[in-house]
Amino acid sequence: MIRFEDVERKVERYHPETDLDLLRRAYIYSAKAHKDQVRASGEPYLIHPLSVAGILADMKMDVATVSTGLLHDVVEDTLASIGDIKGTFGEDVANLVDGVTKISNLGKKSKEEAQAENLRKMILAMTNDIRVVLVKLADRLHNMRTLSFLPADKRKRIAQETLEVYAPIAHRLGMSKIRAELEDLSFQYLDPQEYKRLKEEVESRRASTEAFIEEVKTRIAQRLTEEGVEFVRIDGRIKRLYSIYLKLKRQKITLDKVYDLAAIRIITKEEKDCYFALGVMHKYWKPFQDRIKDFIAMPRENGYRSLHTSVVGEEGYHFEVQIRTEEMHRIAEEGIAAHWKYKEGKGSDTSEDDAIKWLRRMAEWQQDVSDAREFVDSFKLDLFPKEVLAFTPKGKVIQLPRNSTPLDFAYAIHTQVGDQCTGAKANGRIVPLKYQIQNGDVIEILTTPGHKPSRDWLNFVVTSKARNKIKHWIAERQRAESVEVGRKIFDKEAAKLRLKPRQVLEDPQLIKFLNDNGYGKIDDMLAAIGYGKLMARTVLIKFVPPEDLAEIEKAKASKLQKVANVVKRALRLGDDRILIKGVDDVLVYRAPCCSPIRGEEIIGYITRGKGVGVHARRCKNAANLMVNRERIIEVAWMTDKTENPYAVKLSVVTEDRTGQLAALTNTIANVKTNIRNASTDDETLNDGTRKIDLTVDVSDLQHLERVVSALKGVEGVIEVERLNATAQSA
Ligand code: MN
């Protein structure tokens, strides 16, 4: 049974000057907090945190990490809070304990199976301090070592999670020793029968295998010495059960040769000796060409370096050999933890540079980015800066890009869930649809059947799926509206041309027209008409019999003539300065709402029973009238007509100074313009300005602009505005 003194001694040995007081206080705190708890084995609970701290001390972690090992379960399993930890042990330890607690909770949120990859990612994504993961691995290792005390179903579940989530994380961090133990323990609980069978078989061959290993070791040592290659030692071992199991499964073979169980490792002092040793091996044992691997020149992504070969001896047996230096071996076994160690004789300096380099390489490998992220400080890193992982209420993990919102989440689940999304909860609390999802959030989407997407969702969704679905929906809706508008225009135009729309739509000629113009269906054509891309008349005119066409044109001309005559007689407002293009002798009137003057851009609008009103293009009424396109008629100013002046009303805002009205009227007279009327407010406005209204006679737009610019030149004038509505049109 482990005692605190053992942990303390371990830490003291590799780091004599560290703050052992912190460690002692952590131990006392943990002992008090877990006082009345017992493990499934019946032992006091404290055994567990002590063992975890022991594993971390064996990994030669810093004192904050080992202390975290002691405290890692107090927030989750006792009444202590993170605030308490922070107050007692400081920020560093509190952050580590918080990180471990969060990871433990993740396992509880994830209820669905076959999500190992995502859970693995989530653990790494939520960890901004790699030491948290190391504590969690030590925690899991001790739990696996004591798994036999739990009920069978729990054992299986935990073993499964260990095999799929934690062993791969250990692998990713290059920690092959811990990974191996986690895998063998998982195997034992996941497939007890197969484990037992294999173990018995291996045991039955143990003696012969060990004899074989000894023999081969001696011969290799002999050859290396003969050839003058320096080496530190030669290790021989029986392979791990899980790796034998995988190999048998992969190759669909049975275990019948002792050398399948053996693995030989040559440890050298220097890198060059690795290659010399490989040469010697290949000189005396025949290599399998495709089994030679140089992980020294090309290390694995997790930092592993070694030479691998498989050779066959004269007697026909073959075996695998790994060749590496002592340093390579240490990193192969311990991975990232190897970089964390306190350097011997260097006081409190960690080999930080190595660790940072290592993390950086790993981050690059995982993110597949060329520019290495700047690490905020030596231990902190963000392994997946581009992603965020969240849970559904049922525990399924959804992976999204960073800054994703509940809408992105909803569309990731199902298009319909996205379309009908009316609200969202994050971790049980209502959040806005713009909320940015955080790693580990449980997101619940609230839907209302029949609810439709909204265009402004496009302003904050992040995923292309959500964006495309929303856009698709908007396009669909617009299209439906266009088809409807198109159909109305089509029917109206058909009536004008004395055609029955139904008949036209069923005419084979129409199918030909659709094909020739790339419209798949009738609705596509109607949509084009609705969008204004296609004139209904262009389509329909083909269906009018030639004799009808002439008659229709004639009738239309005579109708227009009649309108003109009626207008002429009924209204004496005729303005002979305006020409209606294409139609002679139609009188028109200037719309009083905008009173356009010569030189301005104008449009004509056929009013029912009143004739053609002419509006300035700037006129707001005109903009509204433009919707009825068929009633818009092109109009223009006649250039050769005599000058009948227009009365235009201007509003001048000016500083209130004496003689200002006289100054304005003088100015107008100077530009040879007649003033019909001038009025001024009696009162000065609050801001010390005064408004003066003037009605002037101008011959055209240019003339008006001359007057306005002259007025603007008068000292004290702030603004000159043209008043649209005027009853005094010419
Ligand atoms: Mn624990």
The token pair that represents 52 in the structure block: 């975890």
* 572 pLDDT more than 70: no
Q: Which of 71-75, 577-581, 616-620, 706-710 has the lowest mean pLDDT?
A: 577-581
Going from the Cα of 56 to the center of ligand 1, the distance in angstroms, rounded, reads 13
Distance CA(297)–CA(215), nearest Å, equals 31
Q: Is the pLDDT of residue 138 over 90?
A: yes
Q: What is the pLDDT of residue 326?
A: 92
Predicted confidence at residue 299, as pLDDT, reads 84
The CATH T-level fold of domain 193-335 is: Beta Polymerase; domain 2 (3.30.460)
Give residue 387's pLDDT band: very low, low, confident or very high (50, 70, 90).
confident
pLDDT at residue 434 greater than cutoff 70: yes
Per residue in 474-500, pLDDT tens?
Answer: 888 888 888 998 899 899 888 888 888
Report the pLDDT value the prediction gives residue 570, as an integer from 0 to 100: 44
413, 464 contact by CB (below 8 A): no
pLDDT at 152: 87
In CATH terms, 354-453 corresponds, of 3.10.20.30, 3.30.300.30, 1.10.10.10, 3.20.20.70, to 3.10.20.30
Distance between first and last Cα of the chain: 111
What is the distance in A from the centroid of ligand 1 to the CA of 25? 19
2 C-alpha to center of ligand 1: Å? 16
What does the pLDDT read at residue 291? 83
Q: Could you tell me the pTM of the whole model?
A: 0.58
Q: Look over the chain and give the mean of its residue pLDDT values, rounded to a whole number.
A: 82
Calculate how far, in angstroms, residue 132's C-alpha sits from the geometric centre of ligand 1: 12
Closest CA relative to residue 396, chosen from 408, 413, 384, 381:
413
Greater pLDDT, 547 or 205: 205
Most confident among 110-119, 197-206, 331-340 (mean pLDDT): 197-206
Residue 726 has pLDDT above 50, yes or no: no
Q: Which amino acid is at 680?
A: T
- Helices and strands in the chain, H and E counts: 30, 21
CA 5 – CA 311 distance, rounded (Å): 48
Domain 4-173 has CATH 3.60.10.10: no
Confidence category of residue 339, pLDDT binned at 50, 70, 90: low
CA of 72 to the centre of ligand 1 (A): 6
In the reported structure, the alpha carbon of residue 697 is separated from the centroid of ligand 1 by a whole-number distance in angstroms of 94
How far is Cα 358 from Cα 643, in angstroms, rounded to an integer?
A: 89
The residue-averaged pLDDT of 226-233 equals 94
pLDDT of residue 407: 96
Q: Where are the domains of the chain?
A: 4-173, 193-335, 354-453, 472-555, 560-637, 646-722
Would you say residue 205 has pLDDT above 80? Answer: yes
Q: What is the dihedral of CA 396, 402, 406, 410, to 10 degrees?
A: -50
pLDDT attached to residue 612 = 80
**Ligand 1 centroid from CA 139, angstroms:** 5
pLDDT of residue 216: 92
Q: Which residue has the higher pLDDT, 129 or 524?
A: 524
> What is the pLDDT, as a whole number, of residue 374?
30
- pLDDT (average), residues 564-574: 50
Alpha helices in 497-521 (DSSP H): 501-506, 508-516
Tally Cβ neighbours within 10 Å of residue 314.
8
Residue 278 or residue 377, greater confidence = 278
User: Between these two residues, 718 and 572, which has the higher pLDDT value?
Assistant: 718
In this predicted structure, what is the pLDDT of residue 582?
52
Tell me the H-state helices in 127-239. Answer: 130-145, 152-161, 167-172, 176-190, 192-204, 206-226
How confident is residue 639, by pLDDT bands cut at 50, 70 and 90?
low
* Residue 134 Cα to ligand 1 middle (Å): 12
- How far is 183 from 167, CA to CA, in rounded Å? 6
**pLDDT band at residue 159, thresholds of 50, 70 and 90?**
very high
Residue 373 makes CB contacts below 8 A (sequence gap 6+) with 360, 363, 367, 381, 382, 385
What type of residue sits at position 197?
Answer: R
Specify burial of residue 58 (Cβ count, 10 A radius: 0-12, 13-18, 19+): middle
Say what the pLDDT of residue 261 is: 83
What amino acid occupies position 203?
A: E
- What pLDDT shows up at residue 9? 93
Q: For residue 157, what are the contacts with CB-CB under 8 A and spacing of at least 6?
A: none
Instruction: Report the separation in Å between the CA atom of 314 and the middle of ligand 1, taken as the mean of its atom positions.
Output: 52
Mean pLDDT (whole number) for 166-183: 88
Q: Is the pLDDT of residue 229 over 80?
A: yes
pLDDT greater at residue 565 or residue 441: 441
Higher pLDDT, 434 or 338: 434
CA 296, CA 291: separation in Å to the nearest integer? 15
- 179 in Cβ contact with 140 (< 8 Å): no
Residues 206, 207, 212, 215: is their CA dihedral positive or negative?
positive
**pLDDT confidence of residue 541:** 85
Distance of CA 41 to the CA centre of its chain: 46
Read off the pLDDT of residues 85-99 as tens digits, 9 standing for 90 and up: 999 999 999 999 998
Catalytic residues: 76-77
Q: How far is 251 from 248, CA to CA, in rounded Å?
A: 5
Span 646-722 CATH architecture: 2-Layer Sandwich (3.30)
- In the chain, % of residues over pLDDT 70: 83
Cα(73) to ligand 1 centroid in Å equals 5
Q: What backbone torsions phi and psi does residue 542 show, to the nearest 5 degrees?
A: -65, -20
Q: What mean pLDDT comes out for the span 170-193?
A: 91
